[in-house]
Amino acid sequence: MSMCRAFGATLAVPSVALVLAAAGAGATASEISVNVDRSQIRTQLGHTFVFRTTVANHASSTTGSLIAHLNVLSLREGVEVDPEDWSTHRTRYIGTIPAGGSRTITWKVHAINTGRIALYVAVLPQAGLTRPPTTGRTVQLVVAERNTLNSGGILPLVLGIPSLLGLIAGGLQLARRRR
Amino acid sequence: MAASARTMSKRHRRGWAIVGEQELRDLWLGGRGLLLALAFSVLVSVIAYLTATNQALNFLEQRESVNLTLQVAIAMGSLLALLAAADAVSGERERSTLESLLLTPVSRLDLTGGKLVAALSLWLAAFVITIPYVWFLGRGIDLVADAVITGVVVGTLLAVFLASLGIVISIFANSNRVSLSVSLFLLLAIFAPTQLPSSAQKGWAGELLLRVNPLTAGEHYAGKILVNGHSWSEDISWLISPIVAAAVFSAIAAIVGARCIRLGRGATE
């Protein structure tokens, strides 16, 4: 655990590891894993939530420099999701991981659209791009509708203040002409 | 000596107060101030309505909607103060009323002070107009008091800075058109960093640019308090450039106003 360096926060390595592919020099296939601390998240529109991924190197040698990237997509057809809106810091350059070591990355995400959303993290080497990326388990996100603003009540205000000022300006103009 | 200084001080206070009163009368009873206030209220109404109704704009949180409305109000209120100040001397010169103004028994420093007060009244009016919108958008989350205090502090500093800048430009400008054009150009230059992509605002150079620019620094400070819920002192260093700009430019306006207001164009005659 002493080799585990956290980005934002440290978390214990989850028990279930998704081992998919190799990444970087020194590591071979099935020796890099990406573990996600949550498989399902329920939140509301506009809320911010956090989840963590741990990238572990199970090989006996140090990996090359690695990059972790967060992807966001809607599971419902026709809903456009712009990942940039969801997280401003989606690409993390995590560097090398020593043999048996791990890095924990904290992802801060802002729920922008309602519905069923999928999040996943892909880890790929900075060198050796012909290899496929290693991805973690998909986080299923359910974003519920939320109304924080009372839009109906604002109409009298947005119409009333300019009208009042208009009346005062008009009245003043009229008074000046009469004088 | 002290009595003489007190008399001088009273005379100065009376002088700028008289000029200020006359300027305020011209601005507000003449109708120009009310028309600008009306235009401002229409703009703030549109912004407030959009933030309150259109969730597709990503203004999902009440805090963000309050912050956006307040920032627009600060920016536009300061712009109004700048426009009024940019007309202060060059406008009088162009309307051929500067000569009679210079013949009045008040010092040129008093003239400058009175005109600055009148220009700042537009900011004050703009802020008063903004309060009901801020109250509506921020009610229920204990944000109204913070928004009002932040708006007063940041907005007044920026308004003093921009109005002083406008007066300095107006004193040296050959015509009112030049004065307004230069003022608007400078205002756009000051606003430009707000349009930079977020990636360009990162790193030491990006942060330095945001900190040095009084407008971006002031709005950053307001955003940190209103959106992120920071304490007043946590980001206080972001207020350095608005404070310095307000102090330096008001001093420059006072010095230039006292020494350089001339009847002829370009402050040379």
Note whether A87 and A107 are within 8 A (CB). Answer: yes
Give me the pLDDT at residue B196, please. Answer: 75
Whether pLDDT at B267 is above 50: no
- B53: nearest CA in chain A? A151
Query: H-helix or E-strand containing B43?
Result: helix B32-53
Residue A134 sits at φ, ψ, to 5 deg, of -95, 125
Question: A7-11, B232-236, B265-269: lowest mean pLDDT where?
Answer: A7-11
Q: Which residues from chain B sit within 8 angstroms of residue A173, using beta carbons?
A: 31
Give me the pLDDT at residue B74, please. Answer: 94
Whether pLDDT at A36 is above 80: yes
Q: Determine, for residues B45 and A172 on separate chains, whether the beta-carbon distance falls below 8 Å.
A: no
pLDDT digits (tens, 9 = 90+) for B223-264: 999 888 888 888 999 999 999 999 999 999 999 988 888 876
One-letter amino acid of A134: T
One-letter amino acid of B160: V
Largest CA distance in chain A: 95
Question: A64-73, B40-49, B198-207: lowest mean pLDDT where?
Answer: B198-207
The tokens for A56 are 């572990």
Q: Which residue is associated with the tokens 């309060």?
A: B131
Number of separate domains in chain B? 1
- Return the residue in B44, B53, B54 with the most chain A beta carbons within 10 A, the one to mutate for interface testing: B53
User: b or e along A80-110 (b: 16 or more beta carbons within 10 Å of the residue's beta carbon)?
Assistant: ebeeeebbeebebebebbeeebbbbbbbebb
Note whether B83 and B183 are within 8 A (CB). Answer: yes
pLDDT digits (tens, 9 = 90+) for A84-124: 888 888 999 999 999 999 999 999 998 888 899 999 999 99
Question: A31-35, A46-50, B65-69, B265-269: lowest mean pLDDT where?
Answer: B265-269
Chain B residues with at least one Cβ partner in A under 8 Å: 29, 31, 34-35, 37-38, 41-42, 44-46, 48-49, 51-53, 55, 58, 60-62, 65, 129, 132-133, 136-137, 198
Domain that holds residue B206: 2-267
Note whether B119 and B20 are within 8 A (CB). Answer: no
Residue A104 sits at φ, ψ, to 5 deg, of -105, 130
Give me the pLDDT at residue B96, please. Answer: 82
Q: Determine, for residues A159 and B45 on separate chains, whether the beta-carbon distance falls below 8 Å.
A: yes
**Residue B94 pLDDT level (bands cut at 50, 70, 90):** confident
Average pLDDT over residues B199-218: 84
Q: CA–CA separation, A56 vs A62, rounded Å? A: 11
Whether pLDDT at A152 is above 80: no
Q: CA–CA separation, B8 vs A42, rounded Å? A: 70
Give me the pLDDT at residue A14, please. Answer: 35
Residue A152 neighbours by CB under 8 Å, 6+ apart: none
pLDDT digits (tens, 9 = 90+) for A124-150: 998 867 778 899 999 999 998 776 655
**Residue B11 pLDDT level (bands cut at 50, 70, 90):** low
Residue B147 neighbours by CB under 8 Å, 6+ apart: B66, B67, B70, B134, B138, B226
Q: Which residues from chain B sit within 8 angstroms of residue A151, using beta carbons?
A: 49, 52-53
Q: CA–CA separation, A99 vs A12, rounded Å? A: 17
